[in-house]
Structure 1
Amino acid sequence: MDSSSWLQLFVLLFVYRYLRLVVNLFLFWTFKPIPIPEHPTLYPKDVTVILPTLDGEGAELQRTIQSILRNEPKELILVTIDDNLHKAKDLISKMPAADHGRLRCMSVKQANKRRQMARAVPEVTTPIIVFADDDVDWPRRTLQWLLAPFEQPQYGGVVTCQRLRRAENPSCSQRLWNFLGALYLERRNFDCAAMTRVDGGMPCISGRTVAYRTEILKDPAFTSGFTDERWWFDQYQLNADDDNFITRWLLTHGWQNYMQYHPECEVQTTLEDNSNFLKQCLRWARSNWRSNITSLFSERYVWKQQPWSTYAVQLTTLSPPALVGDAALWWFLVYGTWEWSSGDKWNAYYLLAAWMTASKFVKLVPHFIRFPVDIFLWPASVLFGWCHGIIKWHAMLTLNETTWGSRAGADASDSERMVKQNQKYQGQQHYSDEKAFFEKVPLTHDFTNTQAVAA
């Protein structure tokens, strides 16, 4: 090819890679959350919080429960596994007596977030359900901000922005891993706020803290799909990726999503502060591959209803890793400017280097404003971004795996998250054997005695 052809390839790749960044920067910096109305029709008492947990105990879980109760929901339902139900009851019994009437414990046989969520939903009597992880810390007005978008009937799901809860007195290695985790959440906030601004096409409504209309989750069709999702030409029953399923369900059933990006709705959470963070990234990457493949090629609603988000978010899964893309840009530019004068070539090289540097920094500005000292760790984020391509493509080659790998005990029931279907039963066995388990009599703790009683 001649130099002009190489230059055309450079321009095409440059525009494809960076148009989304330029537009999303405008969308992000002009984003405004939906304010709390002066006369709302929904209040915290209209909310039930469902909190799936594995251990059912611990100082972190207690801290999470306390921060949620400060928001004054009607009820908080703690769902753990049968083996740890007694631990959850013991934890709740130690909470202030005034809170006992707002707390319930339930359990499922095996650790699985979908099953735990489905176990509690039928017990809810409020118009709004909030799901929360067991390691989050809520500001005092989180529920008020979450409820504000629901004043508009088109919204079916509302999610919070998220920040990493920084460790106290971290070691050097912990500081590095925490920094990478904080930037992961920062980029997520950026993308979700920008997509909310244009067409609502968030990559995934994170379950760390998210609110839904109860009518959506109690729909029998939703329950059927949620507890019996099939994946990859019906070869597998998928019991992982709960957040992705609900995100797609809202889209395919005419509901819109909203992200409340505001300091008073900024949930703090934890991520791994060691090499297990890489295992978390691998799990997230597998979920993204599975969900985005389904959205783009199976359901296909995103192409028409969320065209910008499809380009800016969904298609990035299929795009080459950052290192490959950066290398390709340099390759095309070098050959495209081969016949230029030496001065013009080097000016082009300097401009591309400056642009690439700025593009890898600009999304992170809010983080560095809050923590200027972290600027010295920024090169590590660039290196990690290049290396993340290895994680991304390893995830693509192992989509039939659903392991957590980063939490003790979380993989004890991993084989139940992706179940290979017997060919002769495909299309016939609509419900798994676990379906019956969801219908058992729910348990709640009666604090007047030590027995579990029927609700």
Structure 2
Amino acid sequence: MAVALGALWAWDAYEKAVVSYYTKKYKTVPLPDEPTYGPNDVSIIVPTIDTESTFSECLRLWLRSKPREVIIVTVPRCKRQVEQLIQRLEGSTDKITILTSPVANKRQQLMIGAKFASGKIHALVDDDAYWPVDTVIPYLLAPFEDAEIGAVAGIQSAEISPERQDPKVITVWEAAAALDMFQMKGLQAMRFAADGGCWALVGRTLFVRAAILQDPHFINAFTHQIVGNRVENGADDVFVTEWTFDHGWKVCVQNSPESKITTDVKQDHKFAWQVLRWERGNIRSFLSRIFVYPGSRAMMRRHPYSTRKMIERLARPLWAFVYVTVWLKTLWTAPWLSIAYVVWMILGWGGWVSAYRAFLEEYPYCGRKIWALLLMGNIAPILDVYMYCTMNNDSWLTRAADAQDVDDQDVDSIEKIEDMSETPTKFTS
């Protein structure tokens, strides 16, 4: 077993070296001297229900970037609430249009907005996403100078209000959400640098060519995907990323401070529900892509590193079991080696200390929660087992979405997008 632990140790060291290499290799796309696209080419599309009061501030920041239009798609029961939040703004509201969907389904709301939008580039934006800098649009448009780029996403971080940046105030859930996004922005850029791929362009702010979102074939597939006899509601960013790759486009990860996005995070256990929803969507996507379409062979040809990490992610419970078993058996036969391995995992190059130190430099007020963050990070393989057992649960979990049950023999009975929206409401300054 000492040999097996040594092999696992060597593999860990190799993986960290690969991550370091590709992290250094990553480069952002600079602004072009004569840009092809500008703010007037960008239609912002925002699906929302149970809208929070912070939406007004998000809107103000989006409008500051002078987009072509902001299209808000809600449901009738939430329309008045959205109107009240818009009325808090001063000026520029003439660019805002409200559409309604008969069902609270994010995918269908997005497609209603995309059908109405007139920009060449559609910005799919969550209703709790902030644009803290006014350079988001030009920097996320820059990669589209390459005619093969179909979708672009930027750097994303947690929005922690000043009054909550206190070790005595911030909750473990907020700290976990901040850590999740901190780690993700590095991993996404690294995977993109490795082979031009990524698991999914995060949908809090995702720029996509109108030609993709307004393609009738895309609309039909996007709004008719079925999970557990229900119309799929979430994992919209995963689907958009997959479709973009599968139809000959490339994507770009633009991790520059000038394209920074921040987002509200849950202060309670609802963050855990969010994670469950996201991870179920990822697992369903990975299983489909590896075993159904386009298949592991095609995936490996297209994005070898990203595909290998997908497979490892699917096998995480088994992989964790192997590590724990080998370590425990080595502890019995060669305790010095087991202890040395743990010390290296904690203090060594790329170990826990260096990883969490970088996080705490940006979020020093999360230091008291580090014990919980370590626990959450290491129980992930156990949660994977639960997610595999509840794979057909596609509930929004944190908002009151509408479940649309369908008959397996009558999927085409879902309402057509053309008939789903009521008359748009325009605002005037």
Judge same fold: TM > 0.5, yes or no. yes
Measured against aligned partners, the alpha-carbon deviations of 1:308-356 in whole angstroms (never above 9, x if no partner) come to 0111244313222786354234135446x64xxxxxx62x334312331
The Cα shift of 1:135 comes to 0.9
Instruction: Report the CA distance between 1:87 and its aligned residue.
Output: 2.5
Q: Which amino acid aligns with 2:255?
A: Y
Structure 1 Cα separation of the partners of residues 184 and 222 of structure 2: 25
In structure 2, the CA distance between the partners of 1:30 and 1:412, relative to structure 1 (3 Å rule), is: closer
2: distance between equivalents of 1:215 and 1:305? 23
- Match of 1:59, SS state, is coil
The CA deviation at 1:363 is 4.2
2:308 equivalent to 1:311: yes
- Name the counterpart of 2:251: 257
Residue 163 of structure 2 aligns to a residue whose secondary structure is: coil
Q: What does residue 120 of structure 2 align with?
A: 127
Distance 1:367 1:51 in 2: 30
2:93 to 91, 100, 107: 100
Determine whether 1:444 maps to 2:425. Answer: yes
Aligned to 1:379: 371
The CA deviation string for residues 88-130 of structure 1, in whole angstroms up to 9 with x for no partner, is: 2333344223x12211001101211101101111112211000
| TM-superposed deviation, 1:290 | 0.9
Superposition pairs of residues 17-28 of structure 1, within 5 angstroms: 19-28=14-23
Query: Which of residues 283, 292, 308 is equivalent to 1:289?
Result: 283
Moved more, 81-90 or 134-143: 81-90
Change (3 A) 1:377 1:82: same
The Cα of 1:32 is off from its aligned counterpart by 1.8
Is 1:61 the equivalent of 2:61?
no
Q: Which amino acid aligns with 2:324?
A: A
CA distance in 2, matches of 1:366, 1:30: 19
Partner of 2:224: 228
Inter-CA distance 368–213: structure 2 relative to 1 (3 Å threshold): same
Q: How does 1:183-198 map to 2 (within 5 A)?
A: 183-198=179-194
Q: Is the 8 A contact 2:22 2:190 kept in 1?
A: yes
Residue 376 to residue 224, structure 1, CA distance change in 2 (3 Å): same
| Superposition pairs of residues 157-306 of structure 1, within 5 angstroms | 157-170=151-164, 172=168, 174-230=170-226, 237-299=231-293, 300=295, 301-306=298-303
Structure 2 CA distance, aligned partners of 1:162 and 1:258? 14
Contact 2:40 2:67 survives alignment (8 Å):
yes
1:213-254 deviations in whole A, cap 9, x for unaligned?
Answer: 11011111111111112458xx66433321111111111111
Q: Aligned equivalents of 2:59 and 2:232: distance in 1?
A: 29
C-alpha displacement at 1:367, in angstroms? 2.3
User: For residue 107 of structure 2, what is the aligned residue in structure 1?
Assistant: 114
Match in the other structure for 1:356: 345
CA–CA distance in structure 1, aligned partners of residues 211 and 184 of structure 2: 28
The letter of the residue matching 1:27 is: Y
Contact kept? 2:71, 2:97, Cα under 8 Å: yes
Match of 2:414 among 426, 433, 436: 433
Is 1:90 equivalent to 2:84 in the alignment?
Answer: yes
Amino acid at match of 2:38: Y
> In 2 relative to 1, CA 15–304 (structure 1 residues): closer, same or farther, beyond 3 Å?
farther
Q: Does 1:421 align with 2:407?
A: yes
Give the aligned length: 420
Selected match of 2:24 from 26, 29, 34: 29
Q: Deviations over 1:250-277 (max 9, x none)?
A: 1111111111111121111122111222
Letter in 2 for 1:262: S
Contact 2:35–2:145, Cα closer than 8 Å, also in 1 = yes
Contact kept in structure 2, 1:288 and 1:317, CA below 8 Å: no
Moved more, 194-203 or 311-320: 311-320
In structure 2, distance between residues paired with 1:213 and 1:202: 18
Specify whether residues 142 and 446 from structure 1 end up closer, same or farther in structure 2 by C-alpha distance, changes over 3 A only.
Answer: closer
Tell me the distance in 2 between the aligned counterparts of 1:229 and 1:242: 11
Select the residue among 371, 375, 400 that pairs with 1:411: 400
Structure 2: give runs of 5+ residues left out of the alignment. none
Q: Distance in 2 between the 1:323 and 1:174 partners?
A: 31
The structure number with the bigger radius of gyration is 1
Would the aligned equivalents of 1:118 and 1:438 in 2 still touch at CA under 8 Å? Answer: no
The Cα of 1:22 is off from its aligned counterpart by: 2.6
Q: CA separation in 2, counterparts of 1:365 and 1:253?
A: 41
Counterpart-to-counterpart distance in 1, 2:227 and 2:9: 35
**Secondary structure, in 3 states, of the residue corresponding to 1:390?**
helix
Greater mean deviation of Cα atoms: 68-77 or 296-305:
296-305
Instruction: Report the alpha carbon displacement of residue 16 of structure 1 after superposing the two structures with TM.
Output: 5.1
- Report if the CA contact (8 A) 2:71-2:117 is conserved: no
Distance change (3 Å), C-alpha of 1:376 and 1:173: closer
8 Å contact kept, 1:227–1:431: no
Write the deviation string for residues 188-221 of structure 1: whole angstroms up to 9, x where unpaired. Answer: 1111010111123222211101100110111111
Rate the CA distance shift 1:303–1:329 in 2: closer, same or farther, 3 A.
same
CA contact (8 A) 1:46 1:128 kept: yes
The letter for the 1-side match of 2:209 is R
Q: CA RMSD in A?
A: 2.5
Q: 1:399 to 1:80 in 2, by over 3 A?
A: same
SS in 1 for 2:27: coil
Indicate the SS of the match to 1:169.
Answer: helix
Determine if the alignment matches structure 1 residue 397 to structure 2 residue 389. yes
